[in-house]
Amino acid sequence: MPKNLTRKILEDHLVAGDPAGGGEIGIKIDHTLLQDATGTMAMLEFEALGLDAVKAELSAQYVDHNILQTDYKNADDHRYLQTACARYGIHFSSPGNGVSHQVHMERFGVPGKTLIGADSHTPGAAGVSMLGLGAGGLDVAVAMAGRPYYFPCPKVFGVRLSGQLPDWVGAKDVILEMLRRYDVKGCVGKIIEYYGPGVASLSATDRETIGNMGTELGATSTVFPSDENTRAYLEAQGRGKVWRALSADEGATYDEYDEIDLSAVEPLIACPSSPGNVVPVREVAGTRVDQVIVGSSVNSSFRDLMTAAKVMEGRRRHPYTSFHINPGSRQVLENIAAHGGLLSLLQAGARIHEAGCLGCIGMGQAPGTGQVSLRTFPRNFPGRSGTKDDKVYLCSPETGVAAALKGVITDPRDLSPEITYPRVKDPEKYLVDASSIVPPSPEGFQTEVIRGPNIKPLPRMARLPEALEAEVAIRVGDNISTDAIMPAGARVLPLRSNIEAISAFVFYQIAPGFHETCKALGDVAVVGGENYGQGSSREHAALAPRYLGVRVKIAKSFARIHKANLCNFGIIPLVFKDADDYERLKEGDRLEFPGMRTCIQSGDVEIPVICDNKRLITVLDVSDRQRKFLLAGSALNYVKGRMEKDR
């Protein structure tokens, strides 16, 4: 029977479950990826497993998020990560070397391999036909220990591409078109596989952009075939030997279908404050723009930045619009410099920043009060920029540079005929300098791991008691992101290795006193709406609430990664059987869960909840393996116990 490419990769790596039968599957992981915002905690979790070295084929740690060193904390954590990488056999990418997704694709990506990353945008690995999966740090730590990664078996959503993108339309507009059609939860539980004749018109880095932002659709991952464009990219990186052709079989079928005629795609923009709030650029044209940022974790490749440079050649940014360039990697910066693009950008008045995530994670570049910011980033959740009530739009580099020139949102097609659209091609040979990546070495295993004073031990997590009572400490609405649960930014992220300190910021944007409320209540419940926990994979959005006493979250539905993180840290993710019951629960309600431990141990799906002597029913839709995590109090407790038995 003909197979699609997703099924081929899954079956090649399958260790448990049935990709055709639904339920949970487990796959072998080839590569693991950590970044410093989530990787510091993940490294502590890996150390807690008690192994001498990583067991995965290749593990890499990138320092790309917390690169502002406003005090000792980030610098200390970087040293901890570097020494821990040396000690346990992990590649270490230094601060300023670039964003994890871009650098991993440049230096390590291999078609057909699996990659799990403690970053929700890991599916950007689709650029070189890897199956990239975002996950919580603990799941990545377990994969580093050589254990499989388990997740709900996804449906495969086939999207046929035809035609070719017209002038002034980029790959960003393709994924924005998908978001316009499906919004932020339309692809939950699915892997999107692009195929068809239009794929050949997209470069490897175009595909990385589309794969990266597939996460904003709620997708489990994104897959592209490995073809001549993939080969050309790997050859240009000096790694052509790892290339192999990969594609769906002729006549392969998909669980769902759609089609995009690339020639019909127009410039699109996601308005504040959701990646799914997409409209044609022409509908908001004329809006004054105070800030434009091109780059960061997506749209930061050579083609993206050189397109901006070519448009700006001999021109100057609008005097009221600040223009920022965030390269995806040091290599990208070196190559645009070699091709004359850096000088064009500098002469245009652009501010050139070091390679890293920067404003995308709220690490600097915050807009002013009431100011409009156009960004090529993947997310514009409320306050993520670092400014409360921000007005952040997401767009292509073409739309961004048009606004930088004109000072207002501008359909980039309106720059013609004054400016000819530059169809930039990737270099046949990139300048390659891998010296900022420290590879594992035999001597490294003797390295002493250095821990700064802000690095604290993991909190202990007690087993689930037989009966549970919890008070509803907060009730929130639909599409609550992990940014809303556990904010990022320059003030909060340096505390990522200190759970006690960072827990003071749980729900800080919504309810600044939440942590104090929890201290007064003891065991706590949280009530949420649809798609609770969308966005970033950061496990701190589960770990810090658990530290505060949150034992149960009840929602209309959960985002995949956050739900897994809740199970990993012993927080029970319950779903309303009757969505109308959401309206019945209020802050301050006292909830009783009689016989909770027995219910979970017995495999019960329906979990009764008593509130004001009234009984409502919730649903616990988790795997048998996750039930064991909940009973043990955390996945770390369970996995460590199993590993000790195996020795």
Length of the chain: 647
Task: Examine the domain organization and report whether 249 and 312 are in the same domain.
Answer: no
Structure tokens at 436: 């900022």
Task: Examine the domain organization and report whether 522 and 385 are in the same domain.
Answer: no
Nearest to 176 by CA among 267, 295, 252: 267
In the predicted model, is pLDDT for residue 601 greater than 80?
Answer: yes
CA distance 115 to 109: 9
Mean pLDDT of 21-33: 93
| Tens of pLDDT, residues 136-180 | 999 999 999 999 999 999 999 999 999 999 999 999 999 999 999
Q: Sheet harboring 190-195: ordered strands across?
A: 221-223, 190-195, 155-162, 256-261
CA distance 270 to 375: 10
| Domain presence at residue 438 | no
Q: What pLDDT does residue 550 have?
A: 96
Nearest to 353 by CA among 326, 386, 387, 333: 326
Q: Cβ(194)–Cβ(162) under 8 Å?
A: no
In the predicted model, is pLDDT for residue 74 greater than 80?
Answer: yes
Q: What pLDDT does residue 388 have?
A: 87
In the predicted model, is pLDDT for residue 242 greater than 80?
Answer: yes
Give SS3 for 222: strand
Task: Examine the domain organization and report whether 289 and 259 are in the same domain.
Answer: no
Task: Examine the domain organization and report whether 490 and 618 are in the same domain.
Answer: yes
Please give the mean pLDDT across all residues of the chain. 94
Task: Examine the domain organization and report whether 173 and 305 are in the same domain.
Answer: no
* pLDDT band per the 50, 70, 90 thresholds, residue 514: very high
482 CB-near residues (< 8 Å, 6+ apart) = 533, 534, 535, 536, 537, 538, 541, 562
Residue owning tokens 């950061």: 538
Task: Examine the domain organization and report whether 370 and 289 are in the same domain.
Answer: yes
Q: State which residues form the domain around 188.
A: 5-264
| Domain presence at residue 449 | no
> Cα 502 from chain centroid?
20
Q: What pLDDT does residue 457 have?
A: 86
| Domain presence at residue 43 | yes
* pLDDT band per the 50, 70, 90 thresholds, residue 646: low
| Domain presence at residue 444 | no
Mean pLDDT of 557-574: 95
Task: Examine the domain organization and report whether 179 and 207 are in the same domain.
Answer: yes
Burial of 482 (0-12, 13-18, 19+ CB in 10 A): buried
Phi, psi of 533 (to 5 degrees): 90, 25
Give SS3 for 48: helix
Among left, alpha and beta (phi > 0; psi -120 to 50; other), residue 287 is beta
503 CB-near residues (< 8 Å, 6+ apart) = 515, 544, 545, 547, 548
CATH label of the domain that carries residue 19? 3.30.499.10
Nearest to 622 by CA among 643, 601, 637, 638: 601
Nearest to 412 by CA among 293, 311, 322, 319: 311
Task: Examine the domain organization and report whether 287 and 233 are in the same domain.
Answer: no
In the predicted model, is pLDDT for residue 21 greater than 90?
Answer: no
- In this structure, the dihedral spanned by the alpha carbons of residues 350, 354, 355 and 359, taken in order and rounded to 10 degrees, is -70
Q: Cβ(581)–Cβ(556) under 8 Å?
A: no
Mean pLDDT of 514-519: 94
Task: Examine the domain organization and report whether 389 and 350 are in the same domain.
Answer: yes
CATH label of the domain that carries residue 608? 3.20.19.10
Q: Cβ(464)–Cβ(631) under 8 Å?
A: yes
* pLDDT band per the 50, 70, 90 thresholds, residue 493: confident
Residue type, 435: S
Mean pLDDT of 355-375: 90
Final residue belonging to a domain, choices 249, 264, 279: 264
Q: Cβ(99)–Cβ(296) under 8 Å?
A: yes
| Tens of pLDDT, residues 196-223 | 999 999 999 999 999 999 999 999 999 9
3-state helix vs strand vs coil in the chain, percent to 5? 35, 20, 40
491 CB-near residues (< 8 Å, 6+ apart) = none
Q: At CA 558, angle to CA 458 and CA 60, rounded to 5?
A: 45
| Domain presence at residue 110 | yes
* pLDDT band per the 50, 70, 90 thresholds, residue 188: very high
Peptide bond into 417 cis (omega under 30): yes
Q: What pLDDT does residue 383 have?
A: 87
Phi, psi of 387 (to 5 degrees): -115, 125
* Cβ density class 209-232: b for 16+ within 10 Å, e for less: bbbbbbbbbbbbbbbbbbbebbbb
Q: What pLDDT does residue 20 have?
A: 79
Q: What pLDDT does residue 536 have?
A: 85
| Domain presence at residue 133 | yes
Final residue belonging to a domain, choices 398, 415, 432: 415
Strands (DSSP E) found in 247-350: 256-261, 268-270, 278-280, 291-295, 322-326
Structure tokens at 423: 């169809």
| Domain presence at residue 436 | no
Strand 550-555 with 572-576, pairing: parallel
In the predicted model, is pLDDT for residue 647 greater than 70?
Answer: no
Q: Cβ(547)–Cβ(459) under 8 Å?
A: yes
CA distance 371 to 348: 21
CA distance 65 to 38: 9
pTM greater than 0.85 = yes
Looking at the structure of the chain, the number of domains it has is 3
Q: Where are the alpha helices (DSSP H) in 474-539?
A: 482-485, 499-502, 514-521
| Domain presence at residue 452 | no
Task: Examine the domain organization and report whether 354 and 322 are in the same domain.
Answer: yes
Task: Examine the domain organization and report whether 216 and 289 are in the same domain.
Answer: no
CA distance 168 to 165: 8
Final residue belonging to a domain, choices 264, 295, 326: 264
CA distance 460 to 485: 21
| Tens of pLDDT, residues 33-57 | 999 988 899 999 999 999 999 999 9
Q: What pLDDT does residue 395 have?
A: 98
> Cα 438 from chain centroid?
24
Structure tokens at 514: 């939440």
Task: Examine the domain organization and report whether 205 and 147 are in the same domain.
Answer: yes
- What is the helix (H) or strand (E) element at residue 101, kind and residue range? helix 100-107
